[in-house]
Amino acid sequence: MNNNPSPSKAQTLASRRQFLSGNLSIAYKNPLKLVRGEMQYLYDDEGRQFLDAYNNVAHVGHCHPRVVKAAQDQMAVLNTNTRYLSDQIINYAERLTATLPGSLNVCFFVNSGSEANELALRLARTHTGSRDLVVLDHAYHGNTTTMIDISPYKHDGPGGSGPPAWVHKVPLPDLYRGLYRAEDEQASEKYVSHVSEVVERIGRGNRDNLCGFIAESLPSVGGQIELPESYLGAVYREIRAAGGVCIADEVQTGYGRIGKHFWGFESYGVTPDIVVLGKPIGNGHPIGAVVTTREIASSFENGMEFFSTFGGNNVSCAIGVEVLNLVLEEELESHAMAVGDLMLAGLRELMSRHEIMGDVRGSGMFLGVELVKNRDTREPATAKADAVVNGMRDSGILLGTDGPFHNVLKIRPPMPFNRTDADRLVSTLDEILCAFSVSL
């Protein structure tokens, strides 16, 4: 079988079961064997084109020729590590920090979002001399041992064994499905009060305990959630008053995706102490980054060298700079806003006709459609969401689900996704939901 230059899909599936862990999930009932990508499109082994509406890693487009060329050119010349002087890493750090508030001006480069979040936690702990962390329920911050500890989505899910004592989980401020909802004018304050409760319990100003707070600026795995406007500002004040630092996980939400701002945290008028970047900044090449203040970075200069063999290598930096060039030159932030608005309008029109659509939310190219069995009880329509995603796949459009009940359609396409693609997504979703109502 292994000598066959192009095994069939069934053979690939069988070999995968033989050689890889069953713990790796496969998307769709009819799995995709992808062989090529180009901007917002992916192609399978039979040459069929799929419109990619959720792989946000390929931020400027799958296999963008300029990113490919930057990688190829640099790979042919030099690829080594941060122990040698190089202008490339400095240029990248300078370009990256120029997109961030002035206080965030020291960069660390690693290879993944998990690794970046690990480093963020180490920075917070070293700076504060404390250990405990406040996290949002349903959050996901990575696959390493410590990241599973701070990710309720994993440690409270199948196979998980709950959080360790140093992790303090507070309710996800989800105004649609959460503990306090949009109708409640005090919802934001009530969500903040859970953070205050942890701070009081641990001890305000007691630097022996609380090292900080971490949250995605728009929780993605939690279900494509926009936080209440005043929430992060109030939480940051509480955490800082208790001696902690505030970490923004922008792995999913940065680089113009939300349209109205370059970074997710800017939506709430806050400035984190540490920002964590990943996925889109390398457009598929494994780059993670942590950007922090000089003060926090200085605390980390405690004699223990920080070294990541591949983090900040010449090829990664060349790719990182070219991705950033493209985001800015192609004005992808305003493009995301325009196409996102069009898609939101289309989805809201569908919502007026399809009872199953309980909520449509998000901003730019970071959208969620929550499917429910009943709009009053908001019972999650998990099986239907799965059927919709599979139906869309069969119609040539790739979507995924998110949220604690896997009933939220996540729409986070590569940024070249355009108006025609948006119209196609909305009309195909309409057809699939109409077919559902007929079959009921």
Using the minimum distance from each CB to ligand PMP, give the nearer residue, 112 or 299.
112
**Under rule CB under 6 A, which residues in 143-162 are in contact with ligand PMP?**
143
> By C-beta, is 142 or 403 nearer to ligand PMP?
142
Under rule CB under 6 A, which residues in 276-295 are in contact with ligand PMP?
278
Min separation Cβ 375 and ligand PMP, Å: 29
Interface region with ligand PMP, contact rule CB under 6 A, candidates 248-256, 267-275, 400-408, 410-418? 248-256
Could you say which of 141, 194, 354, 412 contacts ligand PMP (CB under 6 A)? 141
Residue 223 as a binder of ligand PMP (CB under 6 A): the answer is no
User: Shortest gap between Cβ of 186 and ligand PMP (angstroms)?
Assistant: 28
Site size toward ligand PMP (CB under 6 A) is: 14
Distance, CA of 310 to chain centre: 22
Q: How far is the CB of 120 from ligand PMP (least distance, A)?
A: 10
* Residue from the set 40, 56, 82, 114 that interacts with ligand PMP by CB under 6 A: 114
Judged by CB, which is closer to ligand PMP: 266, or 430?
A: 266
Among 142, 244, 312, 358, binds ligand PMP (CB under 6 A): 142
249 vs 421, which CB is nearer to ligand PMP?
249
Query: By the criterion CB under 6 A, which residues form the site for ligand PMP?
Result: 112-114, 117, 140-143, 216, 220, 249, 251-252, 278
